[in-house]
């Protein structure tokens, strides 16, 4: 029998002793054992903080993002290696696709997110803040990687996705990870980590793996570490209340299983597309991964006039679901992750049955295709009905983590909102309706209790990712029972692994420290026009001071005719009474266009193109007779990778454009984005 290995301290290590036996959840056969006995957890943490952390913190966001992209491409190319072993967890091909390719998709998503960060090891957060009248004292927030590790304690239901969706975030932030998967399915996580380490794509120490018990590791985490936990609320609270976590103010993100709800709008009657969508969605959430999803629908909230029809349609669809060996053709629901998980679901079903009626399924009487149900961790889908949800409240407190849901009637949308709230906080809720008024009322009435809300109707059905699909760029987490934490969430998630610090000083000093031009900083005049300089030669803060031009009334009239912008303030001097304007005013966009005419160097050079404007503001009206000039300053530089060997080596440069008048007052500001060629074309 294969004994799993831990990957710690840069080596594959087997724990001491016989370890814990792991089983194929379909056949019941022992397939591996695992142990962490003899491993020094304090040393594992220290290795990650030093070797892994030091390497990652030296990399820029661009480099880390490209690292994730390379890893995603590598794993995608060998994805079939994971499917067969995944079936041993009870997962069908569709279940495995969510786990394997969904997890790899998170790597791709966070690799692309690098474009929203500077080509620096740290992040400059928000705009600079002037703190003095004369402009010599300013502040800027920066975010730097925490100098600890991300300790991920994951659940058994997604042994690959659970790891990749988390490490994608912390690695982009520049923080190493220690992954502790749930023991029962850790053999699949170990297989993927083997491939990740063998690829050599990640720096040493940036990823470590513990298969087996990690009891006691929380005693060694520190204030620079981040702990994430996915699983039962009870275990999560025990870990979060560890004295070491409390005393050292260790960031702890808890994502707990929750009693997620889906609501069918009163408008979605039988025969409507929304009714059919609802039945399909609830059935999918009950049976995909055998209902072992933290986002699965546990409470099915239906208008009382529709509940009998929903019960009938859902029961008929469940009856067609073939349960069995996930490798057998036609099987749509495999087993649970293990016998212990199955027994726990049966126990919870029995508890729920004391206060509500089973209207479909039997935990003991059901057919299994291609397997022996006495050996595998199989169970039938169970559908309850609870006609009195405000009195019989077990449904709002007890979760059977499997293919188990409860039908609940409501009279008004206010009732539906109140019922959804009784779950005391969830990861996700959904409402299926084609009535936007109903959708708005439900969302605004219940959003405080749910981390995500899906509004599903026939228009978005074909493109919807569904009730139970967390997405990389969206926050995954929820209040109350759901743990009160957040994962993923795009840039928000990355910043969870960084320390936000306010720095104060002169604008010049802050520009030097942050690597981004701060308004008010010294702007040395460039020795030659900035558009003649290659990417490598541009220096943050250096500036071109242009010649000046006087705006005429003819300019204003001509621009109105060319642009077709005939807003009265530009064209009708008889309508200015009672406005803020003293006379015909120049178009703001003319001022920017005129500024471009002043700062653009017309000759062919390293600047390839201008592809955007950010943060354009017009701060003072310009009338005919005013004279304007421009200060063009290098604000920020971002490296850009080549798409292929034929592509031009280049980078993105942000230029700060400041337009001023004859009294030296600023009349307009903007940031332009340009693509600039590099000297080195290798």
CA quadruple 405, 253, 207, 168: dihedral positive or negative? positive
Phi, psi at 572, each rounded to 5° = -130, 90
Pairing of β 226-231 and β 252-256: parallel
* Residue 451 neighbours by CB under 8 Å, 6+ apart: 426, 427, 428, 475, 476, 477, 478, 479, 482, 486
Residues 6 or more apart whose CB falls under 8 angstroms from that of 209 comprise 6, 7, 8, 178, 179, 181, 189, 190, 193
Pick from 242, 221, 176: nearest CA to 8: 176
DSSP H stretches of helix in 88-210: 93-112, 161-173, 186-199
Cα dihedral 148, 153, 158, 161 in deg (nearest 10) = 0
In angstroms, the CA 89 to CA 24 distance is 6
Residue 317: name the closest of 281, 345, 356, 366 by CA.
281
Query: Residue 658: beta bridge partners?
Result: 631, 669
Instruction: Give phi and psi for 536, each to the nearest 5.
Output: -65, -25
- Per DSSP, the residues of 369-397 read BSS-TTTS-----EEEE-S-TTT--GGGT
The values of phi and psi at residue 55, to 5°, are -70, -45
Annotated catalytic residue 143:
no
Q: Is 274 a catalytic residue?
A: no
Distance between CA atoms of 319 and 361, rounded to whole angstroms? Answer: 9
- Tell me which of 143, 294, 441, 487 is the catalytic residue: 294
The distance of Cα 149 from the centroid of its chain, to the nearest Å, equals 19
Task: Answer for the pair 151, 109: CB distance below 8 angstroms, yes or no.
Answer: no
Q: Among 143, 165, 190, 255, which one carries the catalytic annotation?
A: 255
Continuous segment of H or E residues that includes residue 617: strand 607-618
Residue with tokens 């080549």: 642
Catalytic residue IDs = 255, 294
């Amino acid at each position: 029998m294969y004994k799993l290995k831990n990957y710690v301290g840069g080596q594959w290590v087997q724990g001491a002793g016989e370890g814990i036996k792991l089983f194929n959840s379909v056949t019941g056969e022992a397939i591996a054992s695992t142990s962490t006995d003899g491993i020094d957890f304090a040393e594992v943490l220290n290795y990650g903080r030093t070797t892994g952390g030091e390497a990652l913190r030296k990399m820029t966001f661009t480099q880390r993002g490209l690292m994730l992209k390379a890893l995603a491409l590598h794993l995608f190319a060998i994805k079939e290696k994971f499917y067969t072993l995944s079936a041993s967890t009870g997962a069908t091909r569709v279940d495995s696709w969510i786990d394997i390719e969904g997890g790899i998709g998170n790597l791709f998503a966070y690799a692309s997110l690098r474009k929203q960060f500077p080509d620096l090891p740290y992040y400059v957060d928000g705009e600079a803040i002037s703190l003095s009248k004369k402009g010599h004292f300013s502040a800027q927030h920066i975010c730097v990687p925490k100098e600890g590790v991300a300790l991920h304690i994951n659940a058994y239901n997604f042994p690959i996705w659970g790891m990749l969706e988390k490490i994608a975030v912390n690695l982009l932030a520049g923080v190493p990870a220690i992954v502790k998967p749930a023991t029962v399915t850790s053999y699949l996580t170990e297989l993927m980590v083997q491939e990740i380490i063998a690829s050599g794509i990640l720096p040493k120490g940036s990823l470590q793996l513990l298969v087996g018990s990690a009891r006691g590791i929380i005693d060694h985490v520190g204030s620079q570490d981040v702990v994430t936990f996915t699983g039962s609320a009870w275990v999560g609270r025990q870990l979060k209340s560890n004295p070491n976590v409390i005393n050292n103010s260790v960031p702890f993100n808890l994502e707990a299983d929750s009693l997620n709800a889906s609501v069918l709008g009163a408008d979605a009657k039988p025969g409507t597309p929304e009714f059919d969508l609802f039945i399909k969605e609830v059935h999918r959430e009950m049976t995909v991964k055998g209902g072992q999803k933290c986002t699965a629908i546990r409470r099915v909230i239906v208008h009382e006039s529709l509940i009998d029809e929903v019960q009938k349609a859902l029961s008929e669809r469940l009856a067609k679901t073939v349960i069995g060996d996930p490798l057998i053709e036609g099987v749509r629901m495999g087993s649970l992750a293990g016998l212990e998980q199955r027994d726990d679901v049966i126990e919870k079903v029995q508890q729920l049955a004391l206060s509500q009626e089973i209207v479909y399924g039997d935990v003991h009487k059901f057919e299994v295709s291609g397997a022996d149900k006495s050996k595998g961790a199989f169970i039938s889908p169970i559908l309850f009905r609870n006609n009195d949800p405000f009195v019989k409240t077990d449904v709002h407190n007890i979760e059977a983590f499997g293919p188990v849901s409860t039908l609940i009637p409501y009279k008004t949308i206010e009732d539906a909102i109140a019922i959804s709230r009784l779950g005391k906080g969830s990861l996700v809720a959904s409402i299926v309706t084609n009535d936007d008024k109903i959708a708005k009322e439900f969302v605004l009435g219940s959003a405080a209790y749910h981390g995500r809300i899906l509004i599903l109707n026939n228009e978005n059905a074909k493109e919807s990712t569904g009730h139970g699909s967390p997405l990389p760029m969206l926050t995954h987490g929820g209040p109350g029972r759901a743990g009160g934490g957040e994962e993923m969430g795009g840039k928000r998630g990355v910043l969870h692994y960084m320390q936000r610090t306010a720095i104060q000083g002169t604008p010049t000093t802050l520009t030097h420290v942050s690597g981004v031009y701060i308004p008010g900083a010294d702007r040395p005049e460039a020795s030659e026009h900035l558009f003649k300089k290659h990417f490598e030669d541009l220096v943050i803060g250096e500036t071109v001071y242009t010649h000046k031009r006087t705006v005429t009334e003819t300019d204003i009239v001509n621009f109105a005719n060319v642009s077709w912008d005939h807003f009265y303030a530009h064209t009708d001097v008889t309508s200015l009474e009672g406005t803020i304007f003293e006379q015909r005013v120049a178009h703001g966009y003319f001022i920017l266009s005129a500024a471009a005419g002043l700062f653009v160097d017309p000759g062919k050079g390293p600047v390839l193109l201008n592809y955007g404007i950010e943060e354009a503001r017009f701060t003072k009206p310009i009338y005919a007779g005013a004279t304007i000039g421009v200060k063009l300053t290098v604000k920020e530089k971002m490296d850009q990778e080549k798409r292929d060997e034929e592509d031009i080596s280049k980078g993105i440069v942000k230029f700060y454009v400041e337009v001023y008048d004859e009294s030296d007052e600023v009349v307009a500001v903007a940031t332009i984005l340009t693509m600039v060629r590099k000297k080195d074309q290798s």
